[in-house]
Chain A
Amino acid sequence: MTLLRILATAFALGVAALSVQAAPLRIVIDEGVIEPLPFAVPNFIAENGGAEQYARDIARVVAADLAGTGLFREIGSDAFISGVTSFDAPVAYNDWQAINAQALITGAVQASGDQIVVKFRLFDVFSGQQLGEGLQFAGTPSSWRRMAHKVADAAYSRITGEGGYFDSRVVYVAESGPKNQRLKRLAVMDYDGANIQYLTDSSSIVLAPRFSPTGDRILFTSYASGFPRIYVMDVGSLRTRGLDEQPGTMTFAPRFSPDGNTVVFSLEQGGNSDIYTLDIGSGGLRQLTNAPSIETGPSYSPDGSQIVFESDRSGTQQLYIMSAGGGEPRRISNGQGRYGTPVWSPRGDLIAFTKQNEGRFHIGVMRVQGDEERLLTSSFLDEGPTWAPNGRVIMFTRETAGASGQAGLYSVDISGRNLRQITTEGAASDPAWSPLLP
Chain B
Amino acid sequence: MSTGTIISGAGHAGLILWVLLGDLLFSPQPAPEIQVASVSLVSASQFDAMVAAAPARPAPAPEPPVTPDAPAVVAPDPITPELPQPEANPEPVALPEPPPDLPPDVPTSPEPQPVPAPDPVAPLAAEEQPIPVPTTTQRPKPRPIDRVAPTPVDEIADAPEVAETPTPAVSDQPAPEAEVVPEDVPEAAPEEAATQIITEAVETEQDAPQLAMTSSRRPQARPEPVADAPIDDPAPAVAEPTDTQDVEADAIAAALAEAMSETPAEDNGVQDAPTGPPMTGGEIDGLRVAIKTCWNVGALSSSALRTVITVRVDLAESGVPDVGSIRLTGFEGGTDADATKVFQAARSAISRCGRNGFPLPPEKYDTWKDLELVFDPNGMRMR
Contact = CB atoms under 8 A, between A and B. Distances in A.
B56 interface: no
Nearest to B116: A94
A149 to B, nearest CB: 9
Contacts of B349: 32
Given A21-B270, A24-B372, A146-B93, A32 B292 contact: yes
B245 A135 contact: no
10 nearest CB pairs, A to B: A134-B84, A32-B295, A161-B341, A126-B351, A10-B252, A22-B271, A34-B298, A24-B370, A20-B273, A24-B372
Given A88-B108, A161-B303, A437-B93, A35 B296 contact: yes
Nearest to A72: B299
Interface string B240-283: 01000100110011001100100000001011111000010000
Interface string B124-140: 11100000000000000
Contacts of B301: 160-162, 392
Given A6-B248, A137-B98, A34 B380 contact: yes
Interface in A1-54: 2-3, 6-7, 9-11, 13-14, 16-22, 24-37
Given A22-B370, A127-B351, A90 B84 contact: no
B371 A150 contact: no
21 contacts: A6-B249, A10-B249, A18-B43, A22-B274, A25-B284, A25-B367, A25-B371, A28-B288, A32-B349, A35-B296, A71-B298, A94-B115, A94-B124, A95-B115, A117-B99, A121-B84, A134-B81, A135-B86, A143-B92, A160-B304, A161-B340
B132 to A, nearest CB: 17
Interface of B: 34, 36, 39-43, 46, 76, 78-79, 81-87, 89-93, 95-99, 105-108, 110-111, 113, 115-116, 118-119, 121-126, 241, 245, 248-249, 252-253, 256-257, 260, 268, 270-274, 279, 284, 287-288, 291-301, 303-304, 312, 323, 326, 337-338, 340-341, 344-349, 351-352, 355, 366-368, 370-380, 382-383
Contacts of A16: 273
Nearest to B366: A22
Nearest to A392: B301
Contacts of B106: 88
Contact of B122 (A19, A93, A134): A93
Interface residues of A, number: 80
A323 interface: no
Contacts of B76: 128
Nearest to B270: A18
A153 to B, nearest CB: 10
Contact of A90 (B93, B107, B376): B107
Interface string A102-135: 1000000000000101011100101110110111
A17 B323 contact: no
SS class, residues of chain B in contact with chain A: loop
Given A93-B122, A131-B344, A134-B83, A29 B295 contact: yes
Nearest to B367: A25
Contacts of B295: 29, 31-33
B374 A29 contact: yes
A414 B382 CA distance: 9
Nearest to B378: A30
Interface string A362-388: 000000000010000000000000000
A143 B252 contact: no
Nearest to A413: B382
A89 B91 contact: no
A372 B383 CA distance: 7
A348 to B, nearest CB: 13
A140 B95 contact: yes
A154 to B, nearest CB: 9
Which among B111, B256, B298, B303 has the greatest number of chain A C-beta atoms within 10 A? Answer: B298
A97 interface: yes
A343 interface: no
A127 B324 CA distance: 9
A269 interface: no
Given A37-B298, A120-B84, A126-B348, A143 B95 contact: yes
A94 B124 CA distance: 8
B113 A138 contact: no
A28 B376 contact: yes
A34 B338 contact: no
B41 A92 contact: no
B382 to A, nearest CB: 5
A22 B371 CA distance: 11
